[in-house]
Structure 1
Amino acid sequence: MSGTGWFEAARPIRVEGGIRVRSKRGSIGEQWWSRRFIDILERVCDSGRLSRGRSYARSGQVLDLELAPGLVKARVQGSRRTPYKVGVKITAYDAEQWRALTGALAAQALYRAKLLAGEMPAEIEDVFRRCRLPLFPTERDLGMDCSCPDWGFPCKHLSAVLYVLAEAFDDDPFLVLAWRGMAKDVLLGALRETGGSGGEEPARPGLFDVTDAPFAERLADFYAPGVSPARLRDRTALPVTPPDLLLRTLDPPPVTARRTPILDLLRPAYQALAEHDDA
């Protein structure tokens, strides 16, 4: 046994039909939400085991992956004949917590529209944060278990599953929400029912809501503005721009400080500057 907590190294048994990540080299995860998930993992997990996990994920050693509220289960083929069983747990939010989250998302017309269009707005993290419910798992929130004899955190089998999960998030961002306990169809149905008003205030008239009339009846005032200048200047209905929007828009640079991505160090500074401007 070596001093790293693992027994004698052995080659894994090759399998056919396993789940292979598309990435052949470099980082795994293309969309901002999957990169965010990977960034968190690489901050809290052993880099050596994560590297071996990437190799497992690329060679198809993960046999299957099943996601349910609060739990991801998988089987990984290692060097032994029997595949190892892997479980990754996070907190799944209850119905009351999701009512608050759904109401907060529906109250922002832009976020609601993007979700209904199948997109994951970057600002969704702020909505979860304001509800004091993290979107992505934290070190305290993440529970991992593998049936292998390696007591490292995480073992390479767990690491492989985490990378396969990240690429699954690439393909379907709503899996991030399903892991927290909200299925895609249920969330979208709730957003459609709210109509963006959250059931608390009557819906404001839209900026371009004007009465239609036949052209022949509008000859005298056809070129007059259909909306008053006061309404054009009214910006109260626009969503609040998050202070770190620029950081989210740009591709993250490959720069870290003590293994922490530079964007994670800059984000609190942007937040503090915005709070100072509002004071």
Structure 2
Amino acid sequence: MGSKIVAGWTIQPAVERQKFTVSQEMETTVPGVFAVGDVAEYPGKAELIATGFGEVPTAVNSIIKRIYLKFRAMEHAVSELQKSAVQIETPYNIESVEKDEDGSLNVTLAKVREDEKKVLNVDDLMVNYGFTSEMGAFEPRRLPEDVENGLEGQGIHYFLNDVEDFRDHRVLVAGGGDSAVDMSTLLDTVAAEVHLTHRRVILDIAGYVNTTGAKIVKELDDQMRQFQQDLYLDTTVIDVVPNGTEFDITTDKGSFHSKSVIVATGRRKIKSDRNGK
């Protein structure tokens, strides 16, 4: 059963940076507000993910649902990119960034596995290489220091807080995930010129999403349905009571008996006290 996300609700991304307010009522097949566990690098991503894309197979667990929706989100993002005027530069790595006399950036791109380079002159470089977690805090994956050259905040950006800041600018977006693709499409609505560079051939993502994503979900769905054991989906265990050599198990969908109970609900860190206990 899906959930309704009501207009005016505020979605808090995993990174404590900026909250996003849903602008219209949306239906999602994902129970609860799906976006709260996702990192939103730009305004609207949390809302986009919270919307959901299509029906999620019922035999797929919550982690796979996230993967499934990620594929669908990527498919949507690539589709929108192909309709835009974004210039795609692939497969290239960023080799260096230098400040020009007029304040613009000269970004040198090196073609992957080939002896070919090109220089793009842009006003802004938006780096979207995803996030890394250190000591529980999320930080963007940054350019190497010798490449960034101390230019963060002076043309090099890791977050897109307000698309209007880039109106009539020439922008290079570096990255190949759904965020980079979607961000390029978003910037194309206000920027004078948008380039998207990635170390892989970005347009191959569309085919990868359509074939690999659907295949993964279908195979998992089929495998789970072929189990000889009873399969209880979307079920919460309420009580487990010993009864001789068995257990009486009560769930929100009914009761049954079992010889053994295996708890496989994941792991979490438990802070030790000062004595190391």
**Could you say whether these structures have the same fold, taking a TM-score greater than 0.5 normalized by the shorter chain as the test?**
no
Higher relative strand content = 2
Point out which structure has higher relative CO (alpha carbons under 8 A, 6+ apart). Answer: 1
Higher relative helix content = 1
TM-score in terms of structure 1 length: 0.23
